[in-house]
Chain A
Amino acid sequence: MNLLKNKAVQYTILAFVVALIPLLLDINRSTLTLWNMVIIYAIIAIGFNILLGYAGQISLGHAAFMGLGAYIAANLTGNLELPFLLSLVLSGLIPMVIGLILGLVALRLEGHYLAIATLGFGVAIQQVFKEWTAFTNGFSGVRADNPVIFGLEISEREHYFILGMIILLLLVLFAHYLLKSKTGRALLAMRDSEHAAQAMGVSLFKYKLIAFAASAFYAGIAGGLFMHLIRFTEPNAWGITLSLNLLAMVVIGGLATIGGSIIGAGFIVMVPEFIKDIEFLASIKSFATIFTGFAMIFVIMFFPHGIARIGTQIKIALLNRRNSRVDKGKGGAPNGRSKG
């Protein structure tokens, strides 16, 4: 039974069970596309959460990394005819190198300035997507084929879902062990106080670069998977809207939790779908955006730990209330500390 208490084992079992659902049930193709999108957003959200939730560094330009991953995947499998898995790894590694550069910028900036710099970075890269037509084909967009793994072509959404789930699982486990290690503790220390962390011997240089590199890698992988799922992309997809949605995923789902990132990704993908079914709300254009904006503000104001930890937060609040009532009943001070 101890094995089941291990988080890594729990993640693995859950992933396998969920991956098999589409094979057992008869779910239509468009719904499965959404499920696949949840996986892809979950991957980028986990990476972004390492950056924002754990390391405390904000970025408003991470859509650029995902776009970069998508374009790299399309070019490598299309023009250079590299195998799918190799190109997927490269579509993570190349954005990672650029993420390192952004990490160097972040070393000199904090808070607002970092947000502004990354915002500018995102806009500049999106502009590169628009103008560098040899690489991106401009507004006409690029196409990609179905992924082929060891001679097997993946054309069904069910199979793509399994592929995505395996990659998500690998990345979840990597994040889990990374964050449980010394690195994770160093990132948290850096988030809570850079000066205190430095005083404890945490190298800001090393850990800021790690945080940016990891998040860019995850974003690139998500982009590569997106490219082979949707099989078309153009520059407008990789703008500030996506960066904001990414922020919303992580904030609503829960900062500094892996599960929260996945919940947040589900939220962003599924909310527009639920709204479609409610006639009154569907008649309001872009209601999903308005709702997401309100949800993000609401969560950050009242549940700063996100949906993933709402249960715990309510439990703590109830416990505190009960304790204070008990203390009042005794007519004494809370915890009996005042007399000492």
Chain B
Amino acid sequence: MVAFLQNIIAGLETGSLYALAALGLVLIFRTSGVINFAQGEMAMFSSFIALTLFQHNMPYPVAFIGAILFAVALGYIVERVFIRPASKANLVSKMIITLGLIMIFSGLATAIFGTDSYFFRKAITADNLNAGGVIIQPNALFIIAITLLIMGILFYIIKKTMVGIAIRATAQNEKTAKLMGISVSKIYSMSWIIATVLGAIAGVLIAPTTNISTAMMMDVHLKSFIAAVLGGFGSFIGPVFGGFSIGVFDNLVGYYISLKWKTVIVYGLLILILIFKPTGLFGKSYRKKV
């Protein structure tokens, strides 16, 4: 029982980060119809910025905020330079552009930061708590709390504010949104910025577990895809649910079935979900019109 709870907590910790990253993916997909395959590499780049600031004797919060500010700029630039000029291109071309971005960012990171792997500190370094044999790291609680907080703010913005209404309107129908006086290009910029920031936060928070290296986000990024697929690209709550469940599932499979074959089982699950329920648990199916 203790081991089970221990795994659940560890699963929720990583799962919340998958959820953050997945939320970024879905936000971009819903507004601009692009799946950002480069989100993981962009988050890795932002994490390196945090590391660089930290190495130059900046306090941890400054490094964290520095990474977020960098992510804001990065998201804006990527959208303006690479995505917007191709807004009329077909779906495969857009996908190819974000796949090209993977090469650019991983190449740039190798060129600037090298191929070494660096240790990065945890956000909270207090002693572990012991709740009836289950060891809880304060850092895990902090991560879960901060992601829930961020998601709460995001959902408030999406549901209650004018910006949120504009985002949802753009997601539903770009042309009508334009006719209603919404500056659709601003919404695009904004969703790319928010998504990049979400990715960067996930990157900085996962760094103590994975260490910071050019390959650090591979796993998180792929898991965030599974989270988005599981929850469905059609809703904003879906990926959050998907993120938490994939985090927990991943840990349980690793503990009870096989640590070696965990990855294969989890990706097998991904393909099964895609085959049997491509719209995800929360997605609505729609009929494609010719």
Contacts and interface: CB of A to CB of B under 8 A. Distances in A.
B95 A58 contact: yes
Interface stretch (B42-50, B145-153, B202-210, B269-277): B269-277
Contacts of B99: 60, 244, 247, 296
Interface in A278-336: 284-294, 296-297, 300-301, 304
Dominant SS among interface residues on chain B: helix
Interface residues of A, number: 45
Contacts of A300: 86, 89, 93, 96-97, 100
Interface in B106-121: 106-108, 110-111, 114-115
A83 B260 CA distance: 34
B271 A286 contact: no
Interface in B79-129: 82, 85-86, 89, 91-93, 95-97, 99-104, 106-108, 110-111, 114-115
Interface in B30-79: 35, 37
B237 interface: no
B226 interface: yes
A153 interface: no
A113 B278 contact: yes
A119 interface: yes
A127 interface: yes
B25 to A, nearest CB: 10
B92 A56 contact: yes
Nearest to B288: A195
A244 B290 CA distance: 31
Contact of B103 (A113, A195, A248): A248
Given A289-B107, A292-B103, A112 B95 contact: yes
B33 to A, nearest CB: 9
Contacts of A291: 107
B141 interface: no
A113 B229 contact: yes
B223 to A, nearest CB: 10
Contacts of B103: 244, 248, 289-290, 292-293, 296
Contacts of B275: 105, 108-109
A251 B225 contact: no
B278 to A, nearest CB: 6
A214 to B, nearest CB: 19
B29 interface: yes
Interface in A227-258: 240, 244, 247-248, 251
A327 to B, nearest CB: 25
Nearest to B261: A131
Contacts of B288: 195
A124 B267 contact: yes
B271 A193 contact: no
A196 to B, nearest CB: 7
B92 A244 contact: no
A63 to B, nearest CB: 13
Contacts of A247: 96, 99
B110 A289 contact: yes
B274 A108 contact: yes
Contacts of A112: 29, 35, 91, 95, 233
Contacts of B37: 115, 119
25 contacts: A58-B92, A105-B274, A108-B275, A108-B278, A109-B275, A111-B91, A112-B29, A113-B274, A113-B278, A115-B37, A115-B95, A117-B270, A120-B222, A120-B270, A127-B261, A131-B261, A195-B288, A244-B102, A286-B107, A289-B104, A289-B106, A289-B110, A290-B111, A297-B97, A297-B100
What 8 A-B pairs come out closest when comparing CB atoms?
A293-B103, A289-B107, A290-B107, A293-B104, A124-B267, A297-B100, A296-B100, A120-B267
Given A131-B260, A289-B110, 18 more contacts: A52-B92, A105-B274, A111-B95, A112-B233, A121-B267, A124-B267, A285-B111, A285-B114, A286-B107, A289-B106, A290-B103, A293-B101, A296-B96, A297-B97, A297-B101, A297-B104, A301-B86, A301-B97
Interface of B: 29, 35, 37, 82, 85-86, 89, 91-93, 95-97, 99-104, 106-108, 110-111, 114-115, 218, 222, 225-226, 229, 233, 260-261, 263-264, 267-268, 270-271, 274-275, 278, 288, 290
